[in-house]
Structure 1
Amino acid sequence: MLVDSHCHLDFPDFADDLDGIVGRAEAAGIGRMVTISTRVKRLNGLLAITERFPDVYCSVGTHPHHADEEDGIPASELIELTKHPKVVALGEAGLDYFYQHGSREAQERGFRAHIAAARATGLPLVIHTREADEDCGRILEDEVAKGPFKAVLHCYTGGRELAMKAIALGLSISFTGIITFKKSEALRALAAELPADRIMVETDAPYLAPGKFRGKRNEPAYVVEVARVLAETRGVSLDEISRQTSENFFRLFSKVPAPKVAA
């Protein structure tokens, strides 16, 4: 069994094919999917999807692209929204200096609010960080000093220094189809080096389709290709990487029930 720890099933790309998307994922052995929030104000759309499909769960949070739009949402509001049984994580929140869609000040305020909510609830924070390694590392060190929290740096494409800092702080790292791209040698080298109990796989669907699907719409079933390349990179079998990344997922996303066959 595999888990797609990060996809976006509420995006318009899937509107006309949601039953097919989920069905193909289940047929491919994807036991759980987490559809990730990008706007707190659109949580109801995510909840409708999770209530429709038993194996789909969601997070609640504000993507850094929308940091100005949802600036000022307090940790207390996020905490309240996590009481829904299908809300299993915070985020995605963090820093994105590549597109600059949200001001850096609002991104940092939102990032810290989400960390506070993760700390208070014990739920993991899904961190988005792009071209912001230094500031992300600074904020993580600062916040961990205030008290521990669970988190994963999703769709990791940053440098080795930030990855190792995150590992030292007790966080996890997740990989997407980017790890399958020919020019991702440095990323694969990092993936080979990380501790086995801190790695996960995801699609970030509908974006970043891996390998042979590149250029097409991504979907959760394709997380198998991510796992396959990660297994080759680490010199283990696909079965082993599937077991390890799934165990890591259920340990981090502890609100998600593990299938009885996995237990």
Structure 2
Amino acid sequence: MGLDGPRFYKSLDIQKHVFRSVLERCAEAGGKILTVHSVRSVPAVLEMVERYLPQDRGTVVLHWFTGSKSEARRAATLGCYFPVNAEMTRSDRGRALVTELPIDRILTETDGPFTHIDGRPSESADVNTTVAAIADVRKLPVDAVATAVRSNLRFLLGRRP
């Protein structure tokens, strides 16, 4: 769910209509966790989250976030979480972004089979590799990152009614 940019601009109005509807329904229900795509559409996604899903009514997890540092800061103030996969830590831009994400908003994701580790599709068992990559980028002990990610996940899940 979310918005997928340029290649899908022909359907962007429809995407926005559906996304708004989902956000509004989740706000009505309360306590929902939404995993959201924001491919080349971060500003529009954040605007819609801010407008249609109050923080006390639900939480957004921004799957494979590729926005700017300022967009990441805005998303964090909106209560969003950022799952990081190992592939995100391989580019200069990705490493810079991972360094800027608030540690209390980082989760992990493998996004297998679309990402690869050691030449093979990622799988859930690779989460420790992802944690180690985050620790390396942020220059933190692996245990500290693992503890933070577990704490973030527990907090996120604990917010559900």
Deviations 1:24-63 (A, max 9, x none): xxxxxxxxxxxxxxxxxxxxxxxxxxxxxxxxxxxxxxxx
> Is the 1:228–1:238 Cα contact (8 Å) retained in structure 2?
yes
CA distance in 1, matches of 2:51, 2:134: 31
- Find 1:105's aligned residue among 5, 9, 13: 13
Give 1:227's aligned residue.
131
Q: TM-score of the superposition, structure 1-length normalised? A: 0.55
2:34 aligns with: 125
Q: Do residues 96 (structure 1) and 4 (structure 2) align?
A: yes
Q: Counting helix residues as a fraction of each chain, which structure ranks higher?
A: 2
SS at 1:203 equivalent = coil
Distance 2:95 2:146 in 1: 17
Contact kept, 8 Å, 2:113 with 2:123, in 1: the verdict is yes
Amino acid across the alignment from 1:206: P
- Please, which of 154, 157, 169 is the counterpart of residue 66 of structure 2? 157
**Percentage of matched positions with identical amino acids:** 28
Give the TM-score normalised by the residue count of structure 2. 0.86
Partner SS for 2:67: coil
Instruction: Give matches, 1:142-221, under 5 Å.
Output: 142-144=51-53, 148-181=57-90, 184-210=91-117, 213-214=118-119, 216-221=120-125
Distance 1:158 1:206, change over 3 A: same
Q: Aligned partners of 1:148 and 1:247: how far apart in 2?
A: 21
* Residue 47 (structure 2) aligns with: 138
Q: Which amino acid aligns with 1:164?
A: R
Q: Aligned equivalents of 2:55 and 2:153: distance in 1?
A: 25
Contact 1:156 1:176 in 2 (8 A): no
Give ranges in structure 1 of 5+ residues lacking alignment.
1-92, 257-263
Give the aligned CA root-mean-square deviation in angstroms: 2.3
Q: Which has the higher contact order (CA 8 A, sep 6+)?
A: 1
Q: Report the AA paired with residue 77 of structure 2.
A: A
The CA deviation at 1:144 is 4.2
1:242 is aligned to 2:146: yes
Structure 2 unaligned blocks of 5 or more? none
The number of residue pairs the alignment matches comes to: 159
Q: Which amino acid aligns with 2:37?
A: H
Question: Residues 26 and 53 of structure 2 are in contact (CA less than 8 Å); yes or no, is this contact kept in structure 1?
Answer: no
User: 1:234, CA displacement in angstroms?
Assistant: 1.5
